[in-house]
Chain A
Amino acid sequence: MSAKKAIGLLFFCLLFVSTPGNSFARDAAEKESTALNQKVQTSRLSGINLWIAETYNSERTLYAITVTIVMAALGTSLAFLTDLVLKALGLEVSRISHRE
């Protein structure tokens, strides 16, 4: 993807995230707003679980950013690895002709 395309994509991404759109999904989440402020019990947790729970309890914005970035990073990495495995199995993909 060219740099121009990537910038355009980023712009739309920001636009999408910042617009008041998708309010249906937002409303669905807000319906349970009474339960939203609940805190996770951290006494029995350790390691990564403890870190996730503490971030969830104290820094909700950081939690949201972490989830979004980690999902994107893991999705990309796994896609790359699976692509390598499929290539090794002879299922390589290239530009296809679009016939119905």
Chain B
Amino acid sequence: MDIFNIYLPIAGIEFNALLLVLIGFCVGVLGGFFGVGGGWIVTPALNIFGFQMAFAIGTDLSNIFGQTIGAVKKHQKMGNIDWKLGLISIATSIVGLEIGSEVIIALEKAGDVGMIVRWCYMLLLWGLGSYMLRDYYAMRPRESKDEDMGREQSSRNKSGNGRPRISERLHRITIPPMISFPSSGIEGVSIWIILLVFLFTGFLSGFLGVGGGFIIMPALVYLIGLPTAVAVGTSLVTVLFSGAYGCFTYALKGRVEMIAALILLVGSAIGVQIGATAVKYIRGYGIRLLFAVMILLAGCSIAIEQVYKLTDIAVYSTTAGLVIMGTAMCMVLIIIVRLVLESKRGKKLRL
């Protein structure tokens, strides 16, 4: 495999190009399918294989920017993007992000901020993952029943308008001004609810130091009531802008290894098209189930990282990285297999 080793002039290291393409491909599939940037996969992966952390983050953000352009284009074609909501989310998230980062700076002065952030990260991932799993299993019997009765459109909650319960409650708050999102099928919701939701997701992004795709996607589904596919596409709009900003600012600070980012992008740009196409073939609940499993395992990876920070035994850090990469690879495999099976089934139906 040494023949694929290339010299990366900016980072000043040798790296296997094939490995870069593979990492890029995995994160691309997940990005297109779940509406996330995937920084929490690529950054530890690059770091494990020899990149300095700042280079790993900068190179990853550049890749996220490049890959998300293709994903946004594809989701736009499928009618999965609500631009109005996406742009509001960007503008509001910036404010939330600033508040989150200010809280971090305040905590930094008080003590070990890393430990607090990791605990919050774990609780968020496990809490969100458990909720989504519970939601999936609560709705599954209903889904099967609907299918048995030959209904094409199943309901997502008991109120019958297709929205999860929390968003249904939020939609009942009618503090003016009201705003509508026709692309998402939302006729009227208080703008304050929308702003609060994005302020909250932005705060979490700033507090946890993440791009925010994995927070925004479930927030759009469960709090605002978007169909899953539209939540995936709209979440990518935010990821695109944070990727663009991250790419530029890290490059300006000399922390983007351009050659590595380009090679990563070869894999991820292909992967992201496959992931986005899979959204067409896998139902909303299927996407949410896989997402729930993925973030639960991501929480486990953070827990192992936490053990490393407490014990300072290096093997825990490597294990944490391997867990997240293993999870990503398994998910990619599942998505591709489902895509192939479902597309074959689709073809048979047409015949």
Contacts and interface: CB of A to CB of B under 8 A. Distances in A.
Contacts of A33: 253
B162 interface: yes
B258 A29 contact: no
Given A52-B9, A99-B283, A22 B242 contact: yes
Contacts of A53: 9-10
A22 B245 contact: yes
A88 interface: no
Q: At the interface, is chain B mostly helix, strand, loop or mixed?
A: helix
Contact of A60 (B67, B101, B205, B254): B254
A7 interface: no
Contacts of B57: 25, 28-29
B73 interface: yes
Most chain A beta-carbon contacts within 10 A, residue among B94, B258, B265: B258
A16 B67 contact: no
B227 interface: yes
B58 A29 contact: yes
B230 interface: yes
A98 B101 contact: no
Interface in A20-74: 20-33, 35-36, 38, 40-42, 45, 49, 52-53, 56, 60-61, 63-68, 70-72, 74
Contact size class for A?
A: 35 or more
Given A5-B83, A75-B65, A82-B269, A67 B245 contact: no
Contact of B76 (A1, A28, A52): A1
Interface in B244-278: 244-256, 258-259, 261-262, 265-266, 269-270, 272-274, 276-277
A28 B54 contact: yes
Nearest to A15: B91
Nearest to A89: B343
Contact of B261 (A64, A71, A91): A71
A67 B87 contact: no
Contacts of A12: 87, 90-91, 241
Contact of A67 (B62, B69, B83): B62
A29 B67 CA distance: 22
Given A74-B265, A98-B229, A29 B250 contact: yes
A78 B280 contact: no
A68 B65 contact: yes
Contacts of A42: 9
A3 interface: no
Given A8-B87, A25-B246, A100 B156 contact: yes
A48 to B, nearest CB: 8
8 contacts: A12-B90, A22-B94, A23-B101, A24-B209, A25-B249, A75-B269, A91-B339, A100-B154
Given A24-B97, A40-B10, A74-B265, 14 more contacts: A12-B87, A13-B244, A16-B94, A17-B248, A19-B94, A49-B259, A64-B248, A71-B66, A75-B66, A76-B69, A82-B70, A90-B347, A98-B185, A98-B228
